[in-house]
Amino acid sequence: MTTEAHAHDNAAHGHGDAHGDAHGASHGHGSLKGYLIGFGLSVALTAIPFWLVMTGALGSIWATALSIMALAAVQIVVHMIYFLHMDTKSEGGWTMMALIFTIVLVVIALSGSLWVMYHLNTNMMPMSAQDMSQMP
């Protein structure tokens, strides 16, 4: 089919230049509004943990740490939706499978790291400054 015939066929069926714009917008491609919403949420989800740490608003280290981890997880989802345009409909659901796989790997890595650090801290022999000075 020649370019001219293809252009005529698209025009006859209502597939003009406007179709490309509407088609792109309906499939989750970025718009200025979407990027601004994502940026605003990202800034808020970064400022809140900073504020929690700097002011000690929650009063507990564990509560602050858990809050920061929860806000970090929300921020990951915000970035994936607003900047990477991942949803359940795109690419036949494969992006959702990639998201689930990523979440599983992150949970395994974080929980394993926290478990190892906790047990190292608990099971390490305490050393005094005098003991440290006598080490070779």
CB 87 within 8 A of CB 28: yes
CB 83 within 8 A of CB 35: yes
The Cα diameter of the chain in Å comes to 89
As a three-state string, the secondary structure of 24-82 is HHHCCCCCHHHHHHHHHHHHHHHHHHHHHHHHCCCCCHHHHHHHHHHHHHHHHHHHHHH
At 40-98, the pLDDT tens digits run 999 999 999 999 999 999 999 989 999 998 999 899 889 988 998 877 777 777 777 88
Evaluate if pTM is beyond 0.75. no
Residue 69 CA to chain centroid, in angstroms? 12
Q: How far is 67 from 114, CA to CA, in rounded Å?
A: 16
Q: What mean pLDDT, rounded, does the chain reach?
A: 78
Give me the residue spans of the domains in the chain: 29-85, 89-122
DSSP annotation of 126 reads P
